[in-house]
Amino acid sequence: MTQIAGSSRTALALELWPGKAYPLGATYDGSGTNFALFSEVAEKVELCLFSDDAAGGTVETRVTLPEVDGFVWHGFIPNIEPGQRYGYRVYGPYDPAAGMRCNPNKLLLDPYSKAIDGNFDWNQSLFGYNFGDPDSRNDDDSADSMPKSVVINPFFDWGVDRPPNHEYADTVIYEAHVKGLTQTHPDIPEQIRGTYAAVAHPAIIEHLTSLGVNAIELMPVHHFANDSTLIDKGLSNYWGYNTIGFLAPDAKYSSNPNPGGQVQEFKAMVRALHEANIEVILDVVYNHTAEGNHLGPTLSMRGIDNAAYYRLVDDDKRYYMDYTGTGNSLNAGHPHSLQLIMDSLRYWVTEMHVDGFRFDLASTLAREFYDVDRLSTFFELVQQDPTVSQVKLIAEPWDVGPGGYQVGNFPPQWTEWNGKYRDTVRDFWRGEPATLDEFAYRLTGSADLYEHTARRPVASINFVVAHDGFTLRDLVSYNEKHNEANGEDNNDGESHNRSWNCGVEGPSDDPEVLALRSKQERNFLTTLLLSQGVPMICHGDELGRTQGGNNNGYCQDNEITWIDWASADTELLDFTRMVSRLRAEHPVFRRRRFFSGKPVGRRGQAGLPDIAWFTPEGAEMTGEDWGSGFAKSVGVYLNGHGIPDMDARGQRVIDDSFLLFFNAHHEPIEFTLPPKKFATAWQPVVSSAAPVAPEPGEPHQAGATVSVEARTVLVLRAESNPG
């Protein structure tokens, strides 16, 4: 059957073959395209092909898919080439009370779209009910208001591309937004700013490599919908946590104007980053979709097979289980929606060559009944998958369901965003009492969280700042959030930020306040980069990026959130590079195993411990010292001869020993250096008191005292080791 929409009256003449049920989606083989769509409830499925006519109108050609196998509807059409726009209409039961919402008047995106072209025109036609009457049915045709799925060209010259495959312990992650990172960079041509091509530009790659970054974690690039509620306010979805296409790179970040061109541009970006030895990690949102709750639009899965793709409320299937705060949760317990997740992950690894994933609200995917089940089907499949199990898997280990904070509960092959690290380090440097023991755990890899799951220190993805909160500059400049620009009367965003404005709220001309803020930034960056685990820098924090106190920039696609390259803090940048270089050069900061605190044999002599903690008086810490609520200063000795790791050739790893003094007190503190058995002399190499490295001078002798300025971290290297 053929139906024409738009001004043209010419339909495509098509030959239709049975095709195959796998792979799902639209697959071009050089001679034509196979289309396959899963729906258990469908009674008929129409493939809708869209083309332009000479008058500028749109022609819609509907083709009924001729075959169904295992609930997969499929057909092959010769001569359908890359760039072809398409969608589906699904005929089946419409019974919301029973969880079924099929309506062939709604054009639906392919859940397996590998590219999507166009934007949503938010109006009545996109919704399955009449506004104001949720129990009604709306039959307006939505085709003219919907973006379209696109057949892509799967062929790409990868050349000699290979994954960098960095060990976690050697990885430094840079969390970045494609547009925010590149939109104002003066060395990037204007026509490609804000795109995948811009991320691949030599200016960005040089910046990343100069920081020691070898993995970039991109905020969501899966095609996402811009919420109508934000558009109505003159805002837009900037972060992108509103996915509607799990296999499609978003066209909003493409400089290529051709439908499907975003795929080639994304691949070229990955290839360029790999050439620079930088991994690409994607922030992915498999926990929910842009279709929202029962009052949301019908864009894709809701109209294809609502009950298969979404978790519905057991005793009233009109409604959706919402563990995410976004209206719905993907039904990872259903084999076909689980297959969609796994197919998507494999596609991004095998076809797009990405190196890992950060899973937004990952707990949602593992929820079976109420608990986060470490043996859930999702985890089992990931464990068994020969492709997905071998890339970096990073969990955001919380959601809004029961027991939502799940740090430490993921299986052995996973790492986690360590929110406890963030909170503890923030508290320590703003001088909160009774944080020393917690601080020690976080500094050394969080063994309390990860040891019991057979994971290593590198299970902890350490961060002080991420996209969802203050920037580093704002963390030291504001006590309160200032989100007025979001249009919610400053009611949105987190109120308990563990921030400190250093004496003045917001911008200041006071040189003392500015000096203290700069020092605090250096404290945070030094602590982050020299902690055991995997450090993650949020883009622009090394440049002094500010959001003017906005701690919830999700809807601000503008100068509030973009890096302002013209006002970059070059001093802070150089300092960050220096500390990152220290980490890269010294494996003692990148251990692959937890500290034991036990003596390590050295050249036949009685060994020193692999780690030791000291009071400012030079005495080793006791249980009483750890429990002291007023203690804000501590020294830590890292034994370069106590690294239990082997290098790639099986040789023992030996490094210099280091001494780190942390003083979060508001006054200088005299630290006594450890006795000779630890080292005969110590040379300062980093001090957060100044933006440059300490001038080389006479080393400090064992047992001498060293003054550590107020709110400062001092790093010393052993000049000579005993024995």
Residues noted as catalytic: 360, 396
CB 75 within 8 A of CB 47: yes
Pairing relationship of beta strands 173-176 and 243-249 according to DSSP bridges: unpaired
| Type of residue at 27 | T
Of 489, 686, 702, nearest to 575 (Cα)?
A: 686
CA distance 696 to 381: 54
Pairing relationship of beta strands 215-218 and 279-284 according to DSSP bridges: parallel
Residue 491 has phi, psi (to 5 degrees) of -85, -15
Find the helix or strand (DSSP H, E) in which 189 lies: none
CB 420 within 8 A of CB 407: yes
Residue where the block lists tokens 């809701």: 302
Strand partners, 320: 312
CA distance 421 to 426: 8
3-class state of residue 408 by DSSP? coil
State how far the alpha carbon of 285 is from the alpha carbons of 195, 288, 330, 341, 494, in Å.
20, 7, 10, 10, 21
Find the helix or strand (DSSP H, E) in which 218 lies: strand 215-218
Q: DSSP H helical segments within 394-510, as ranges? A: 419-429, 436-443, 447-450, 472-475
CB 50 within 8 A of CB 12: no
- The most distant pair of C-alpha atoms in the chain lies apart, rounded to whole Å, by 92
CB 183 within 8 A of CB 193: yes
State how far the alpha carbon of 12 is from the alpha carbons of 2, 4, 18, 305, in Å.
9, 10, 18, 29
Please spell the DSSP secondary structure of 299-316, one letter per residue.
Answer: SSHHHHHHHHHBPBPTT-
Residue 431 structure tokens? 């001088």
Residue 172 structure tokens? 């430094």
DSSP code for 108 = B
Of 338, 343, 308, nearest to 90 (Cα)?
A: 308
